[in-house]
């Protein structure tokens, strides 16, 4: 039983670790993009109801997520 737990716990721990690492890298990359832009993304989307910018931001987040996922998988 202990051997089974040892064999199956490592992949679960690795998955949790890489999930957290990927989320941290995604947030950091998004913060860098926010700092580079000459306007406030939050203000444009929330106050000015700029749906076009919302779609672009969503595409950027999805793209970054796919890149991070591919980098972690190898």
pLDDT tens digit sequence for 20-62: 998 999 899 989 999 999 999 989 999 999 999 999 999 999 9
Which of 17, 24, 15 is closest to 64 using CA atoms?
A: 24
Are 67 and 26 in contact, with CB atoms under 8 Å apart? Answer: no
Residues listed for the chain: 74
Provide the domain count of the chain.
Answer: 1
Q: What's the pTM value of the predicted model, to 2 decimals? A: 0.75
pLDDT at 5 over 90: no
The number of beta carbons lying within 10 Å of the beta carbon of residue 54 is 14
Which of 49, 26, 11 is closest to 34 using CA atoms?
A: 26
Report d(CA 16, CA 13) in Å as an integer.
5
Query: What residue numbers bound the domain in which 43 lies?
Result: 2-73
pLDDT for the residue 31: 93
């Amino acid at each position: 039983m202990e051997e089974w737990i040892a064999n199956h716990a490592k992949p679960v721990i690795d998955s949790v670790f890489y999930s957290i690492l990927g989320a941290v890298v995604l947030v950091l990359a998004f913060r860098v993009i926010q700092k580079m832009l000459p306007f406030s993304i939050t203000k444009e989307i929330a106050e000015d109801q700029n749906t076009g910018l919302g779609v672009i931001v969503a595409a950027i987040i999805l793209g970054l997520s796919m890149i991070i996922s591919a980098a972690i998988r190898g």
